[in-house]
Structure 1
């Protein structure tokens, strides 16, 4: 198994007017940092966006699902595999999952909380009864429970984790055996600068309005802001490999997919109203053997717009990384970056010099990922 090895991912990304992640009032989430109000996107929102992105790159059985409707999903698989009537499959699925002693929700078929599982794991549970489903369905409740009591239902959820569960973990308070320690820690995204909440006043016209009628068919407001965000996540490679059964190649694949999906994903709140999807202006990866390091302190003093915010933000990040490395005597195993800054723009020379000193010459994103994989593979080989 690999020893201590952490992969930090630092991203600077500008989002136009948007309401990416709403609070309980329907407004963009915010936080006060460094004495200034900042735009915020919760880690939960970006975790889900990341997970949904990399789910699009793999077959359905290799994906993960988070739901309260576990009984219903299992029943669907039993019907698919055995052609059993749905009501009988629901009863059989409920009896199977009783083996887990999951707390029940308000609806009899729901669990009390969202359960995160691999689709292949639920297929395995369904397969436990597929050969005798019709016979089991004919038994009364007492005999059915006796027949199912020794089936390894919990074991099916304890092995063969998909990437989503291996990365983000699973917490089941009343069944510790099902817990999976997360390999990823993800910070809330924060704007590098102070932001102001704004409101879009809109009217919608009824296409069937009569000539004598005036006014709008609907009037309302949508809150929004715009921000250059600092995003940070770290992957504990040893934990990731352990969650994947010690398979380091699978862990390397999972790391690569995570970096790709974390960089490319964006939460979808109000996306039809704002079309806010952008790409990062900077993605930097740092491989460390000591501990993860969040560089949000680069923005404790809010960036002030001179000729935009983006370039000043990445310079601040690069300077913070270089200063922390010097002050603490850090010697990271590897650092690399992909960014969109080029010569010819105002302040470009200063920006490029800061980024190159901190992370080296910019490389295409595909090369960033392949270089990261090669570095981690070399470290694992050296660790033996």
Structure 2
């Protein structure tokens, strides 16, 4: 019998003013050819990091994850801390030696050029380092005094790999971890994020700027001259969260529920920070559509294979095309979301028919929480319960969402 699956998809339309939030090695805003037209692009890595930073900001520092080559230095720092602060109170040289011995069972390739660093970035929870120290059970000083062979034997008796393979923080559970040297440390990501693409064709422009030397009273020339490349765009952003995978990566159902809802919030509100001071480009989406599916995820970017022209506004036209694509996928493939939730301020009966009633974003998150709570408890997605006349009849059995109060 197959394991039930639940995918929470987030589709976003978001307009950016002149900006360069994600650039290539030459400083040009990233782009891609799609549908025969050049589009603005923001890489999935850039928006995943922005999402992770926004997500992590709501947690205490000790409960966060970190991605670094300096796991050895961090562990050494823990071992040198006084015992009253959760450390082992070792001298620096003892801590360096014991940290190296503790990490040896992981078989992590060391950097060929930089001492005390791994050859690649590792993603782990800061609290997992404390769990490694707890394995020592107060014997840190005694272990550090052992000869190399005996130290290796004693460390080999400890559950080092198991400690870093469990108790993952929410960030690792969401975004996963791959360690080529030791597959036992791998964590399958619960989240996939697509490259954001503009729904329309774009062209790169150049901002020619000058800076004045305030203390220059001798001539009227500029103290600095330069250019920065930019574009403006309406982006289609897409991410999908496998709630079943997130549940497997975590341990407590409450953690799964909270993490899933917080992810949707963070992905929606986050923004990469490239050239942020130059362009002040922070905006909020014009449309947030959350679809829940139990079969397979469906990226709706094909709605924009033919570029939007923007005769009546790029965001509005993009929303209409997105609604049409959602309907087409349902009609052609029979792939109709189990539920849809939406937040937008765009007008049109077609949008309401496709997306359901628009609700304020906090209410959308409340409704999503209720749906996920039910699925985690009994494996079922509750049907919407609209008031009579509030929502057009569902297409092909698809249920439309309502406000949080109506859902309850």
Q: Structure 1 140/381 Cα, relative in aligned 2: closer, same or farther at 3 Å?
A: closer
Listed as ranges, the matches of 1:59-138 within 5 Å are 59-80=60-81, 81-105=87-111, 106-129=113-136, 131-138=138-145
> Which residue number corresponds to residue 28 of structure 2?
27
Decide whether the 8 Å contact of 1:117 with 1:165 is kept in 2.
yes
CA offset digits 1:331-362 (Å, max 9, x no partner): 32110101132xxxxxx4xxx31221111110
Displacement after TM superposition at 1:130 (Å): 6.2
Q: Structure 1 residue aligned with 2:277, among 269, 272, 283?
A: 272
Q: Deviations over 1:47-66 (max 9, x none)?
A: 11111101111112221111
Could you say what secondary structure the match of 2:281 adopts?
coil
* TM-score of the aligned structures, taking structure 2 as reference length: 0.88
**Correspondence for 1:373 among 362, 369, 385:** 369
What is the aligned-residue RMSD (CA, Å)? 1.7
SS in structure 1 of the partner of residue 181 of structure 2: coil
Q: Deviations over 1:147-200 (max 9, x none)?
A: 322211111111111111111110111201000111111100000010111111
Give the aligned partner of residue 203 of structure 1. 210
- Asked if the contact 1:23/1:29 (under 8 Å) is kept, the reply is yes
Deviation, 1:236, is: 1.0
Q: Which of these residues, 226, 248, 260, is aligned with residue 242 of structure 1?
A: 248
User: Counterpart of 1:284 in 2: which secondary structure?
Assistant: strand
Whole-Å separation in 2 of the counterparts to 1:360 and 1:35: 32
Of the three residues 133, 149, 165, the one matched with 2:172 is 165
Give secondary structure in 2 for the equivalent of 1:313.
helix
Give, in angstroms, the shift of residue 127 of structure 1: 2.3
Aligned residues: 373
- The secondary structure found in structure 1 opposite 2:77 is helix
- Residue 359 (structure 2) aligned to one of 346, 358, 363: 363
* C-alpha distance in structure 2 between counterparts of 1:220 and 1:92, whole Å: 51
Q: CA deviation at 1:287?
A: 0.6
Note the C-alpha offset of 1:383.
3.0
Q: Is the 8 A contact 2:329 2:336 kept in 1?
A: no
Q: In the TM superposition, what whole-angstrom CA distance separates every residue of 1:254-293 from its partner, at most 9, and x where no partner exists? A: 1101000000100111111111111111111111111000
Preserved CA contact (<8 Å) 2:212 2:224: yes
Provide the secondary structure at the position in 2 that maps to 1:159.
coil
Partner of 1:231: helix, strand, or coil?
A: strand
Higher RCO, 1 or 2 (CA under 8 Å, sep at least 6)? 1
- 1:202/1:140 CA distance change after superposition, 3 Å: farther
- Does the Cα contact within 8 Å between 1:295 and 1:321 map onto a contact in 2? yes
- Partner residue of 2:336 out of 309, 314, 331: 331
2:224 matched residue in structure 1 = 218
List alignment gaps of at least 5 residues for structure 2: 82-86, 381-408
TM-score relative to the length of structure 1: 0.93
Q: CA deviation at 1:2?
A: 6.1
SS at structure 1 position matched to 2:106:
coil
